[in-house]
């Protein structure tokens, strides 16, 4: 049973400023999302992304999003897929519903093994 | 000589009668009908609730059905058993009257639903992984036929849109291959399969209530693929081709679900893909007669049993809304917010009420279809599909 992930309450604008000062690639920096929003995102991924990827993230119309399948893929391309979709497939763009930092956070959670609700 | 007197004198007769009546009641429950019963899927806990549409209450819970995060149900022809097809390939025969599992198997890795044959003897599952359909004896759930969905290029597709036709035939579609297949299982030992090219990425399909027209919705192109199963030699015809008018489609966050409930009053009301519209088609000519703008991407577009109204629910992020179209006026007359994440709607057999699952409110709410007001609520854990036994008499359900 995965331990619950703690959500440090670092505000996003502060993080953005810090990231601008650091020479690191964004994907290497751990992104934090405030706790209430993080809970919404966990719910959204499990329930609504889960329409195609499964509540258990083991796949359905869409591929499995388990940590095993996810770890092999570069984070940037996964963030881009979430935000812009995959044309020609049923994967829709989620930009406008979530922002880039939130997409990065989701990818990091998926790579680590996505939390349960 | 006088006749022998009876052993039990009258003094003891009444108490003995009462005692036998009481013991009789304890061992034989009063018989009940199943025509007003149904099941509600509790998607996150692998459980179904048995519900009653007359009392609008839950009667019992049946746990142990595996991954029901997507689930679909068909009923035995005597309306006693619900065959529950689960996402993880589970197939459970649930005894509705006894609220128990009569039989359970796991028949695939990832499955999306199933169908039951015209004569009620075969239950067929449609599978994503491994792609194909499998037929089971409806009584024992013994596997009797297995048809992998391998196309002529050797590619194995996810099967979608399974529907029963007459004569123990089944129509279904192949998502990746873009094909429609019709399998004749009247002799399960020697299934016969006809294959047709359909179009890009069929995502689901319906059969009209008469069992004649099989219509697959397409994701990869604007249009639907239709096969007249009474004249299959005519092949697959495109209907509503180019309905997107060349415009950039809107994002689709959940696939629509197609069934014969779309057909009412000589028309079919179909969800557009990538447009916030219900497309209306004349079922004699198969030409578009209207489009009705709606709030978001439709998922379920369902006619009330009398055909006077069409109820529509929507994909994320607008799944808190439901709209009602009046078919006489040809427009939306009511926009409702019955609860959070309305996943499914099911009409009572004659349509005086509609049951709606509100996943994120952990409730099922019952609406009066005349007044559009809620009349009852049932607690349910993350409810999704709602299925009533009246489906047993409907082709394609």
Which run of H or of E encompasses B299? strand B298-303
Tell whether B316 lies on the interface with A, counting CB pairs under 8 A.
yes
Question: Maximum distance among all alpha carbons in chain B?
Answer: 108
Q: State percent of chain B over pLDDT 90.
A: 92
Is residue B195 within 8 A of residue B211, CB to CB? The reply is: no
Is A8 inside any structural domain? no
Where residue A102 falls among pLDDT bands split at 50, 70, 90? Answer: very high
Q: Which domain holds residue A49?
A: 32-112
Where residue A31 falls among pLDDT bands split at 50, 70, 90? Answer: confident
Is A11 inside any structural domain? no
Where residue A69 falls among pLDDT bands split at 50, 70, 90? Answer: confident
Is A60 inside any structural domain? yes
> For residue B57, what are its two tokens?
């209450």
Contact residues for B367 (Cβ-Cβ < 8 A; gap 6+): B336, B338, B353, B354, B355, B356, B373, B374, B375
Interface ipTM = 0.87
What is the per-residue pLDDT for A83? Answer: 98
Q: Do A56 and B67 touch (CB under 8 A)?
A: yes
Where residue B392 falls among pLDDT bands split at 50, 70, 90? Answer: very high
Q: How many domains does chain A have?
A: 1
Where residue A110 falls among pLDDT bands split at 50, 70, 90? Answer: very high
Is A17 inside any structural domain? no
What is the per-residue pLDDT for B17? Answer: 60
What is the per-residue pLDDT for A68? Answer: 83
Contacts of A54 in chain B (CB under 8 A): 67, 69-70, 87, 110
Q: Token match 């198969």: residue?
A: B286
What is the per-residue pLDDT for A63? Answer: 93
What is the per-residue pLDDT for A18? Answer: 43
Tell whether A62 lies on the interface with B, counting CB pairs under 8 A.
no
* Domain at A77, CATH number: 1.10.760.10
Q: Indicate whether B51 pLDDT > 80.
A: yes
DSSP labels, B185-250: -SSTTS-EEEEEE--S-EEEEEE-TTS-EEEEEESSSSSEEEEETTSGGG-EEEESTTTTTTPPPP
Is A25 inside any structural domain? no
Calculate the alpha carbon distances from A2 to A49, A70, A76, B44 in Å: 20, 17, 25, 18
Length of chain B: 397
Calculate the alpha carbon distances from B258 to B130, B173, B299, B303 in Å: 23, 13, 8, 12
Is A16 inside any structural domain? no
Mean pLDDT of B272-288: 97
Q: Do B128 and A61 touch (CB under 8 A)?
A: yes
Where residue A70 falls among pLDDT bands split at 50, 70, 90? Answer: confident
Tell whether B44 lies on the interface with A, counting CB pairs under 8 A.
yes
Q: Do B251 and A93 touch (CB under 8 A)?
A: yes
Helices assigned H by DSSP within A12-96: 12-21, 35-44, 50-53, 67-71, 75-84
Tell whether A95 lies on the interface with B, counting CB pairs under 8 A.
no
> For residue A25, what are its two tokens?
């690639």
Find out whether the peptide bond into B130 is cis, omega within 30 degrees of 0.
Answer: yes
What is chain A's Cα-based Rg?
Answer: 14
Cα separation of A90 and A69, whole Å? 19
Closest alpha carbon within chain B to A89: B220
Read off the DSSP letter of residue A11: -
Interface of B with A in 123-152 (CB under 8 A): 128-129
Q: What is the pLDDT of residues B110-155, one digit of tens each?
A: 999 999 999 999 999 999 999 999 999 999 999 999 999 999 889 9
> For residue B177, what are its two tokens?
């291959």
Of B13 and B205, the structure prediction assigns the larger pLDDT to: B205
What is the per-residue pLDDT for A80? Answer: 96
Is A117 inside any structural domain? no
Tell whether A97 lies on the interface with B, counting CB pairs under 8 A.
yes
What three-state secondary structure class fits B308? coil
Tell whether B257 lies on the interface with A, counting CB pairs under 8 A.
no
Closest Cβ opposite residue B87 in set A44, A60, A92: A60
Cα separation of B391 and B385, whole Å? 13
Contact residues for B183 (Cβ-Cβ < 8 A; gap 6+): B133, B147, B169, B170, B171, B172, B191, B192, B193
Q: Indicate whether A21 pLDDT > 60.
A: no
Find out whether the peptide bond into B317 is cis, omega within 30 degrees of 0.
Answer: yes
Q: Indicate whether B353 pLDDT > 70.
A: yes
Q: Indicate whether A13 pLDDT > 90.
A: no
Read off the DSSP letter of residue A98: B
Q: How far is B139 from chain A (nearest CA, A)?
A: 28
Residue of B159, B203, B316 to mutate, interface with A, max A Cβ within 10 Å: B316
Is residue B150 within 8 A of residue B144, CB to CB? The reply is: no
Q: How far is B263 from chain A (nearest CA, A)?
A: 26
What three-state secondary structure class fits B314? strand
Calculate the alpha carbon distances from B336 to A49, B314, B333, B362, B370 in Å: 24, 12, 10, 18, 14
Mean pLDDT of B210-231: 98
Q: Indicate whether B1 pLDDT > 50.
A: no
Q: pTM here?
A: 0.89
Q: Indicate whether A22 pLDDT > 60.
A: no
What is the per-residue pLDDT for A30? Answer: 82
Tell whether B69 lies on the interface with A, counting CB pairs under 8 A.
yes
- Select from A102, A114, A116 the least CA-distant residue to A34: A102
Tell whether A50 lies on the interface with B, counting CB pairs under 8 A.
yes
Report the Cα–Cα distance between both ends of chain B, in Å, rounded: 74
Is residue B295 within 8 A of residue B336, CB to CB? The reply is: no
Q: Token match 């799944």: residue?
A: B319
Contacts of B89 in chain A (CB under 8 A): none
Is A5 inside any structural domain? no
Q: Do B255 and A47 touch (CB under 8 A)?
A: no
Which run of H or of E encompasses B183? strand B179-184
């Amino acid at each position: 049973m995965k331990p619950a992930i703690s959500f440090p309450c670092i505000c996003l604008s502060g993080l953005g400023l810090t990231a601008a000062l650091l020479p690191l690639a964004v994907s290497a920096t751990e992104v934090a999302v405030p706790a209430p929003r993080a809970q919404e995102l966990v719910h959204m991924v499990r329930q609504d992304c889960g329409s195609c990827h499964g509540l258990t993230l083991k796949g359905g119309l869409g591929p499995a999003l388990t940590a095993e399948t996810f770890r092999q893929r570069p984070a940037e391309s996964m963030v881009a897929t979430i935000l812009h979709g995959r044309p020609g497939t049923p994967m829709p763009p989620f930009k406008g519903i979530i922002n880039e930092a939130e997409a990065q956070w989701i990818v990091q959670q998926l790579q680590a093994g996505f939390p349960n609700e | 000589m006088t006749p022998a007197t009876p052993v039990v004198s009258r003094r003891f007769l009444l108490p003995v009668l009462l005692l036998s009546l009481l013991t009789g009641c304890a061992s034989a429950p009063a018989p009940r009908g199943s025509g007003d019963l149904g099941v509600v899927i509790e998607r996150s806990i692998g459980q179904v609730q048995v519900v009653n549409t007359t009392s609008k209450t839950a009667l019992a819970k049946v746990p142990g059905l595996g991954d029901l995060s997507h689930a679909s149900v068909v009923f035995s022809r005597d309306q006693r058993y619900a065959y529950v097809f689960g996402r993880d390939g589970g197939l459970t025969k649930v005894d509705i009257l006894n609220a128990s599992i009569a039989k359970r198997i796991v028949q695939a890795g990832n499955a999306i639903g199933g169908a039951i044959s015209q004569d009620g003897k075969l239950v067929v599952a449609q599978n994503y992984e491994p792609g194909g359909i499998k037929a089971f004896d409806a009584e024992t759930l013994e596997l009797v036929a297995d048809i992998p969905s391998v196309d002529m290029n050797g590619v194995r597709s996810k099967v979608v849109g399974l529907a029963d036709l007459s004569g123990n035939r089944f129509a279904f579609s192949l998502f990746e291959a873009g094909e429609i297949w019709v399998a004749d299982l009247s002799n399960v030992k020697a299934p016969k399969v006809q294959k047709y090219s359909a179009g890009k990425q069929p995502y689901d399909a319906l059969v009209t209530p008469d069992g004649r027209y099989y219509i697959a919705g397409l994701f990869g192109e604007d249009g639907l693929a239709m096969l007249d199963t009474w004249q299959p030699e005519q092949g697959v015809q495109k209907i509503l081709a180019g309905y997107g008018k060349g415009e950039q489609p809107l994002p689709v966050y959940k696939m629509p679900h197609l069934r014969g409930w779309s057909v009412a009053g000589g028309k079919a009301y179909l969800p557009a893909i990538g447009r916030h519209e219900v497309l209306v088609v004349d079922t004699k000519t198969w030409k578009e007669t209207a489009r009705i703008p709606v709030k978001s991407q439709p998922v379920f577009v369902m006619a009330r049993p009398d055909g006077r109204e069409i109820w529509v629910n929507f994909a994320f992020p607008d799944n808190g809304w439901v709209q009602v179209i009046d078919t006489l006026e040809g427009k939306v007359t009511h926009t409702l917010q019955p609860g959070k994440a309305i996943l499914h709607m099911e009409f009572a057999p004659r349509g005086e009420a509609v049951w709606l699952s509100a996943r994120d409110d952990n409730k099922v709410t019952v609406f009066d279809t005349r007044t559009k007001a809620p009349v009852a609520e049932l607690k349910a854990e993350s409810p999704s599909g709602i299925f009533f036994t009246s489906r047993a008499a409907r082709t394609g359900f």
